Chain A
Amino acid sequence: MDKLRRALAAIMTAAAVAGALSFQKEPGVEKRTGGWKKISNFGNN
């Protein structure tokens, strides 16, 4: 019974991780970062 419970917990954890990873890879879900760039040469921008 205990082995069955552990196996079930492992399957559920694996499913949750797989789900989270597939959600991250879904098109349209992107991580965006700000695009600020320091200006070092004011003559060449």
Chain B
Amino acid sequence: MRALVIGAGAVGTKVAQQLLSSNAVDKILLRDISPEKLGVASKTLGSRVEVEHFPFSQNMDADVVVVASPRGTQLEAVKKAISLRRPTVVVSDGLSETVSILNLEKEAFELGVPVVVGTGFAPGLSCVLTAYGKTLLEQTEEIHVSKMGTGGPACALVHHRALSRMSFGWREDKWDKRLGGSGRELLWFPEPVGPQDCYHAALSDPVLLHNAFPEVSRISAKMAATRRDRFTAFFPMLTPPHDEGGIGAIRVELRGSKNGVQENIVLGVSEHPALAAASVTALTSEYLLKQKINLNHMSTLALIVEPSEFLSELTKRSIVVEIFEGDKTTV
């Protein structure tokens, strides 16, 4: 089995590492247009990884294609993978590009190509947490996702832009547009992240979650940001982003009912975003290679994996899922 990992950034390199350690593949091709990134990656990865200094969407000779390249390059890579009938896993981050990738659904269906869209921290793990939370309720009326932190520089850039663009949330049968950086809400993430001010942002979670759960009447996504983040979002990034951000978190809140009683389920994960995204992406790729996912079209994680099993597997990879059980008063 061969896997092609497109993008040797913070997520792509970790995906390659995890695929190697799982023994799901015999060989990995790690491709990037940056020789510096490939140089760093080749030092940390073993001989079973072949690095390629190639354009992102060329020669995809592999059993699975993992698209973990920066925003703006993913759509072309997915188009090419579909045309070559390669099973594809797309980490997916930016809102507009995710929508464009979802628009390739017809091509994927006609050619019978399995394509999994959104396999990062959020979207990705957030979608699986939502699917798991839904199993704890009889009826789900609202889904609210929030995230804090970024992975590598490409992820940091997407987050920077997301605060200055319109956010899309699903509200009573229509898309509800809100200005990025508005709608402050103080939300509690699992420790050590704790409470953070979160704001509307151009995130792709609501699009993927509405695609998976069209019956849910309200879906929103917010992002933790500081006053400086919100102010500078309207300008180009003045300082280059960090190689990899610190610890981040996601939080998924589901509102609905069980046994006729209104109930809220709050699930969360605190982890380094790039590491969590890589774990979700690598596990999805393994599921595709081992044919644990029976897919011949484009779909999202929330619809194709059994959430309990998937989260149990992630727990084995040291991703800790937590549930909020309410305040405990200590006097």
Contact = CB atoms under 8 A, between A and B. Distances in A.
Contacts of A5: none
Q: Which 4 pairs, one residue from A and one from B, show the smallest C-beta to C-beta distance?
A: A42-B308, A35-B325, A36-B322, A36-B190
Given A32-B328, A32-B330, A37 B311 contact: no
B330 A33 contact: yes
Given A32-B329, A33-B330, A36-B268, A45 B323 contact: yes
B213 interface: no
Contact of B136 (A30, A32, A45): A45
A43 to B, nearest CB: 6
Contacts of B268: 36
8 contacts: A31-B331, A32-B330, A33-B328, A33-B330, A35-B327, A39-B322, A40-B315, A42-B307
Given A34-B188, A35-B324, A36-B322, A42 B132 contact: yes
Contacts of B308: 42-43
B280 to A, nearest CB: 15
B158 interface: no
Contacts, number: 56
B194 interface: yes
A40 B311 CA distance: 10
Contacts of B327: 32-35
Interface of A: 30-40, 42-43, 45
B191 interface: yes
Contact of B331 (A30, A35, A38): A30
A39 B266 CA distance: 12
Given A36-B268, A42-B311, A30 B330 contact: yes
B315 A37 contact: no
A2 to B, nearest CB: 41
B330 A37 contact: no
A16 to B, nearest CB: 21
Nearest to B306: A42
A33 B329 CA distance: 7
B283 to A, nearest CB: 14
B321 A39 contact: yes
B191 A34 contact: yes
A19 B321 CA distance: 42
Contacts of B322: 36-39
Contacts of A36: 190-191, 268, 322-325
